[in-house]
Structure 1
Amino acid sequence: MTSPETRTLSVAGATLTYDVRPGSGGEAPLFLVGSPMSAAGFVTLASHFTDRTVITYDPRGVDRSPRTDGAAESSPEEHAEDLARIVEAVGVETLDVFASSGGAVNALALVARHPALVRTLVAHEPPIAEALPDREAALRVFADMHETYLRDGLGAGMAKFIAAATHQGEFPEDWADGPAPDPAAFGLPTEDDGARDDALLGQNLRNCTGYEPDFAALRAASTRLVIAAGRESEQEMTARAAVGVAERLGLAPTWFPSHHGGFLGGEFGQEGQPAEFAKTLRSVLDGQH
């Protein structure tokens, strides 16, 4: 696989770092987008698309893309503008986007604002509470998670995040009132180190899960929209939200192999089914799935 060329771009409030891997074919470039996951999470998936130019990036406030405005939180609209600036800097008229998790939320905002930039968007498991039948309960779960992080630190907040992310089915109304999970049970620190700069729990959690997409703009966009979810995560919040988003757009969800991180091939110590995932993604991008 061709080594990526790393570039930087100054935008309002941040300096973005992104990578461009030149492809061997003439197909449209492919932008792989995560949030708060950085470009490091797409190494395996990118290796399956050497025929395309592949772009990856670190979102503002993550790894190589420091914020310059001192803001504590980011919004999907901010991330969408960052994505647009990168597409323009790369110098292509249009491209395809595979976006996962919070990246899928940000990419939906991108299409609503700049549809001409994206030919096809595959939005994989966007955690949008607005699309859930248990919307209010879910929003309380995430608000409690954020408050726990601010009060008690990373371990306590992340333990609640893992418990919620792996919960099967709708959230009970009293979920946030239940006993707090033990961080040690997940191998997380039990002591508060005082830091409050976590990109997930601090910077992106509330605005990402609480985002209300412009469904009218998305339905009117020239972009081909594919809303995807993993077979193994079908009853988890992110996949349930994907189904809800697809319904709001008048689409059927597209089912991918594996789970929320199904494209991972050992990044962050997590394994999905990357070869099968990439095969499905290629089929979807080619309009055959």
Structure 2
Amino acid sequence: MNPTITAHTLDVPGARLHYELRGTGPLVVLIGAPMHAESFAPLADLLADEYTVLTTDPRGINRSTVDDRDQDSTPELRADDLARLIAHVDAGPASVFGSSGGAVTALALIQGHPESVRVVIAHEPPLVELLDDRVAVRAATEDYCETFLRGDRVGAWRKFLATANLHMPEPVFMQVFGNEPEPQQAADERHWFANELRASSFWHPDITALRAVAAKIVVGIGEESGEQECERTSNALAAALDIAPVRFPGGHTGFVDDPAGFLPRLREVLTPAK
């Protein structure tokens, strides 16, 4: 039985956030960046039998609008948005599952607003600054962002996948990136490449502050992520915090590819926070 979903908006400084609620019980937040609420819907539906689940579009993406499209979407800004959302729904503190850029948001949340959080599951945060080869990865990231902003969308995505060590068969790549995107997708991609990606990837967490709350942090890595960039950054974060990473089914987007298969491991790490 599908849960009842209610959609809402919240005005925050410089933005108007779209968010959705479903289910009852302790609060769980599922977040991405730039991934928005729709991608988390199947997983949220499965969790709603036991939790109140909040999903949201990050500022400047999809249905969450911003006053200034040229303002960077930093982890601190998105964490402040999330803290305001948690306070607004008055169901916190929250267990927060963040994926990729959303994992960076979740880490910035527990770093800056620890009172809002029961546990943070940071699933494959792309924290380039923690890598030994960060100078080279940073240069490659700057290159594919500039490639996109020069108008070469296909070239930018090719460079992005190569840097991230993500493999996509050519027919699939052209099916996904070879056609003109819909207007909303085009706007979201541009905002990500221009104003969000670098702010997330180049963010350097306060390791001392995170070590102080390390008991409330889970670093998640996909079992199929291999030697991808986000596996390397996640291992580097876990090592810096002196905690063991937790393996989750699938790869970087395992919770989208097979939410039912992903769910049992997620429930395991959420249970202590109830």
TM-score, L = length of structure 1:
0.85
Aligned residue identity for 1:91: D
How many Å separate the matches in 1 of 2:172 and 2:258?
Answer: 28
Post-superposition shift, 1:210? 0.4
Aligned pair in 2 of structure 1 residues 15, 255: CA closer, same or farther (>3 Å)? same
How many Å separate the matches in 2 of 1:276 and 1:184?
Answer: 24
Instruction: Name 1:9's counterpart in structure 2.
Output: 10
User: What is the root-mean-square deviation of aligned Cα atoms in Å?
Assistant: 2.5
Q: Which runs of 5+ in 1 are unaligned?
A: 169-181, 265-271
Instruction: Name 1:229's counterpart in structure 2.
Output: 221
Instruction: Name 2:67's counterpart in structure 1.
Output: 68
2:274 maps to 1:277? no
Deviations 1:197-218 (A, max 9, x none): 6232222111111000111111
Aligned residue identity for 2:220: A
Aligned pair in 2 of structure 1 residues 160, 252: CA closer, same or farther (>3 Å)? same
Q: Percent same amino acid at aligned positions?
A: 39
Deviations 1:105-163 (A, max 9, x none): 01100100011110011100000101222211111111111111111342222222122
How many Å separate the matches in 2 of 1:117 and 1:2?
Answer: 25
Instruction: Name 2:37's counterpart in structure 1.
Output: 39
TM-score, L = length of structure 2:
0.89
Aligned partners of 1:112 and 1:218 also within 8 Å: yes
Post-superposition shift, 1:164? 2.2
**Runs of 4 or more above 3 Å deviation:** 182-187, 189-193
How many Å separate the matches in 2 of 1:116 and 1:248?
Answer: 23
Q: 1:186 aligns with which of 158, 165, 174?
A: 174
How many Å separate the matches in 2 of 1:48 and 1:192?
Answer: 30
Aligned pair in 2 of structure 1 residues 134, 105: CA closer, same or farther (>3 Å)? same
How many Å separate the matches in 1 of 2:149 and 2:252?
Answer: 26
Aligned pair in 2 of structure 1 residues 191, 63: CA closer, same or farther (>3 Å)? closer
Deviations 1:63-105 (A, max 9, x none): 1101112324211111110111100111123111111000000
Q: Is the deviation greater in 231-240 or in 158-167?
A: 158-167
Instruction: Name 2:131's counterpart in structure 1.
Output: 132
Aligned pair in 2 of structure 1 residues 77, 223: CA closer, same or farther (>3 Å)? farther
Aligned partners of 1:157 and 1:201 also within 8 Å: no
Instruction: Name 1:55's counterpart in structure 2.
Output: 54
Aligned partners of 2:214 and 2:241 also within 8 Å: no
Instruction: Name 1:174's counterpart in structure 2.
Output: none
Post-superposition shift, 1:61? 0.6
Post-superposition shift, 1:2? 1.5
Count, aligned residues = 265
Q: Secondary structure at the match of 2:205?
A: coil
Q: Which runs of 5+ in 2 are unaligned?
A: none
2:221 maps to 1:220? no
2:165 maps to 1:166? yes
How many Å separate the matches in 2 of 1:127 and 1:246?
Answer: 13
Aligned pair in 2 of structure 1 residues 133, 13: CA closer, same or farther (>3 Å)? same
Instruction: Name 1:243's counterpart in structure 2.
Output: 235
Deviations 1:30-71 (A, max 9, x none): 100111000001111112212110000000011110111232
Q: Secondary structure at the match of 2:20?
A: strand
Aligned partners of 1:15 and 1:66 also within 8 Å: yes
Post-superposition shift, 1:196? 6.9
Post-superposition shift, 1:223? 6.1
Aligned partners of 1:233 and 1:258 also within 8 Å: yes
Deviations 1:150-191 (A, max 9, x none): 1134222222212222359xxxxxxxxxxxxx9995332488
